[in-house]
Chain A
Amino acid sequence: MSAQGTPPTPDELDHLAAEHVLGLADPADEARARALMSADPAFRALVETWRARFAELDATAAPGAPSDALLERILASVAAAPEAEAAPHATVPEPPARTPAAAQPARPAPGPAPRPAPWFAGFWESLAFWRTAGFAASAAALVLAVGLAVTLPGGAPKPVFVAVLLTPDNQPAAVVNAFANGTAELIPLRSIEVPQGRALEVWTLQDRGRGPVSIGLLERARTVRLDLGRLPATGPDQLFEITLEPSAGSPIGRPTGPILMKGTTSAPL
């Protein structure tokens, strides 16, 4: 649209509204149009006018007979709606802040400078004096790692599948480890800016027919166990992605916001 910084002319705004209605706005313009739609009644009116102009074309589509199950599916989704906003996401377990989770894999044996896991970060920093005494820190990390190992319920600590999630500019931003017992964890590798009123939603795609399934909702990037309980076992080349969504999660159970990162699973050697 217009150059950065200059206010758009009325013609530019009208063109943006028209392109939004036609579906022709590029992603940046589309984001602008959506922001204006919620903030600017005058722009909303432009959009309404364009919608009304083209609406006749919707009636030119040859009607298709929906399959018998469609209405039932809709009613089932709608009946689930009041809970859908809170419940499924609330089941994403918080990682234990102090005690290692059972499903948390054992850390590799600590080297000379072990890196704390991200969800340990607060703990680690609150005991910052460890870092000033390098040797003590290593020793403490060793204790922690041993503590982790003994709490594992005999499961293999090694993930059966790993996915590295990349940002649109191909920077690694998180890792998903899927374990043989059906659990999985997400480990962010960098912080992500989450605007006020928005959240990070984690999705996986196993079956194109079913579409992406929400497996977690986070207010910020942090390590979590992912909610794979209702899904078949994770397989190779399974897509994981994180999108930016409203704070209660996508209102429709499918990604609606921009993809912040994505990646597919591979088996480690």
Chain B
Amino acid sequence: MSQPDGDILDALRACQRGDQAGLRALYEREAPRMVGVAYRMLRRRALAEEAVHDTFVLVWRQAASFDPARGAARTWIYAILRNRSLNILRGETRTELVDDFEPMGLESEEEGPEGALMRLAESGRLRGCLERLEPDRRRAILLAYVRGLTHGELAGRFGVPLGTMKSWIRRSLLALRECLA
């Protein structure tokens, strides 16, 4: 991500001191994007806000355990958000979501996995490395990360056996690791 981590780190430090101003600053800065990330997976505004709510509560309670030596503050927050969103997606509302999961054809290019790819910085390494993958395999990786699809759901979407999808993912991740190293 291009924006500096400094403001987020300051906000986290305030949270560590029990200062709610830190949480407010974090909210002002990140909440809209966080709602967007959760919404891409959960497809429902109320659920996305629930995931964001839970994430802020967790950030507040676990701020003390955040160690900047291990990784970026923003990455830490979004990891919590993604975890919460995936838990909601896979646990609490699974059956409901399956009902209105829009078929692939109705998904706009803008919102779909290629849209996410296009919005990556053109000069960025991730985009360059993703573009080197075969299109279907790239889409599978993006759908997993951006939409939270499982191996089984990806296999269904692409009409390939589960084992094939698992090996697509495995090889794509190896290729990405090499490319990004």
Are A23 and B70 interface neighbours, CB within 8 A? no
B: number of interface residues (CB 8 Å): 66
Are A60 and B119 interface neighbours, CB within 8 A? yes
Are B46 and A56 interface neighbours, CB within 8 A? no
Q: Within 8 Å CB of A53, what residues of B?
A: 126, 176, 180
User: Cα distance A70–B31 when bound, in Å?
Assistant: 9
User: Cα distance A56–B121 when bound, in Å?
Assistant: 8
Q: Which of B33, B60, B146 is the one whose CB lies under 8 Å from A81?
A: B60
Are B79 and A51 interface neighbours, CB within 8 A? yes
Decide yes or no whether A150 CB sits under 8 A from chain B: no
Decide yes or no whether A133 CB sits under 8 A from chain B: no
Q: Within 8 Å CB of A109, what residues of B?
A: none
Q: Considering the complex, give the chain A residue whose CB is closest to the CB of B84.
A: A252
Decide yes or no whether B169 CB sits under 8 A from chain A: yes
User: Cα distance A256–B146 when bound, in Å?
Assistant: 21
Of A52, A57, A254, chain B has the most CB atoms within 10 Å of the CB of A57
Within 8 A of B (CB), among A92-143: none
Decide yes or no whether A237 CB sits under 8 A from chain B: no
* B contact residues vs A (CB 8 Å cutoff): 1-2, 20, 23-24, 27, 31-33, 35-37, 39-40, 45-46, 48-50, 52-54, 56-58, 60-62, 70-72, 74-75, 78-79, 82, 84, 86-87, 91-93, 96, 111, 115-116, 119-121, 124, 126-127, 141-142, 144-146, 148, 150-151, 169-170, 173, 176-177, 180
* A contact residues vs B (CB 8 Å cutoff): 14-15, 18-19, 21-24, 26, 44-45, 48, 51-67, 70-71, 73-75, 77-79, 81, 208-209, 211-212, 251-256, 259
